[in-house]
Structure 1
């Protein structure tokens, strides 16, 4: 088999592999973005800290 055919087949295989990896990367990132959006929609607001006059420590505000 001539060397240029081996190089051409290697380049073709590498291009196909890169295309498949890019497609998988986009799919995984889409799943992560969806999970991140769901997480922020459900997450409660952060607790507000108030200073305790007796100890001087900051504690979460009682609701």
Structure 2
């Protein structure tokens, strides 16, 4: 087989592999994003943050 044909077949195989891996990566990321959104839905909307007390310089909880 001439080397040009072998190189062309190798390039086509590499392109197919890249396409397969990209699709798999998108699928896995979609699953992770869905799981992350479901987890964030269970987090309460109000979060306690810390604010610095100007008198003492200490950080204290503050409901936003």
Cα deviation code 1:1-24 (max 9, x no counterpart): 100111011111111101101101
SS at match of 2:48: coil
For structure 2, the residue ranges without an aligned partner over 5 or more in a row are none
- The higher relative CO (CA closer than 8 Å, separation ≥ 6) is in 2
After TM superposition, the score normalised by the length of structure 1 is 0.72
Does 2:18 align with 1:23? no
CA RMSD of aligned residues (A): 2.4
Distance 2:32 2:6 in 1: 39
For structure 1, the residue ranges without an aligned partner over 5 or more in a row are none
After TM superposition, the score normalised by the length of structure 2 is 0.71
Structure with the higher fraction of residues in strand conformation: 2
